Amino acid sequence: MAVKSANSGESFFTSKLDAAVGWARKYSIFGYPFVTACCGMEYMAAASSHYDMDRFGAGLPRFSPRQADVLFVVGTISHKMAPVLRRIYEQICDPKWVIAFGVCTCTGGFYTNYSTVQGIDTIIPVDIYIPGCPPRPEMVLDGLMKLQDRIQKQKQVY
């Protein structure tokens, strides 16, 4: 919300509004799970009641990219699938964030061949990397908390 100054005619943003919007975005994460491989089991475990992603405001997955703001890329990405992933990323409204989940997503893992993408950061920008094969649900929650800190500290655009 821009406020006009009476004397100079310039607009400015109040820091309290930025903090409030950052807090609201931090606790209203709607994730789009793009699950392709075995890491999907650990993603489901992190979303289960034992670990409870809901307490972080990220428990309700969206299965339409137009309703999501965080893309969880979970598992191995092949070059054949890369254009689909890019298109899904482009359909997510701004502001949007990406979490790379698992070593195969982050670096290609032990698949050093012509058909596997060696890190999804060659296709789309990544905000948080969660390493492991597969990563433990505690690591997923840690990555989610790091993303929340990044969202809250981010300059809010209205």
| Structural domain boundaries in the chain | 30-153
Q: How many CB atoms neighbour CB 24 within 10 A?
A: 13
Q: What is the pLDDT of residues 86-133, one digit of tens each?
A: 999 999 988 899 999 888 888 887 888 888 889 899 999 999 999 888
Please name which of 28, 4, 9, 10 lies closest in space to residue 152, comparing C-alpha atoms. Answer: 28
Residue 140: closest CA among 153, 125, 129, 154: 129
pLDDT for the residue 91:
92
What are the phi and psi torsion angles at 84 (to 5°)? -65, -45
Q: pLDDT confidence of 67, banded at 50, 70, 90?
A: confident
Quick one: tokens of 85?
């992933």
Topology (CATH level 3) of domain 30-153: Rossmann fold (3.40.50)
**% the chain with pLDDT above 70:** 87
Per the rule left: phi > 0, alpha: psi between -120 and 50, beta: everything else, 150 is alpha
Instruction: Give the strand pairing for 11-12 and 97-101.
Output: unpaired
pLDDT band at 83 (very low <50, low <70, confident <90, very high): very high
pTM check: above 0.85: no
Per the DSSP assignment, residues forming a β-bridge with 12 are 3
Whole-angstrom Cα distance, residue 105 to residue 128?
12
Mapped onto helix, strand or coil, the DSSP state of residue 126 is coil
**Any idea which residue has 């969202």 for tokens?**
151
Cα–Cα dist 133/102, whole Å: 6
What is the maximum alpha-carbon separation in the chain? 64
Rounded CA separation 55/46 (Å): 12
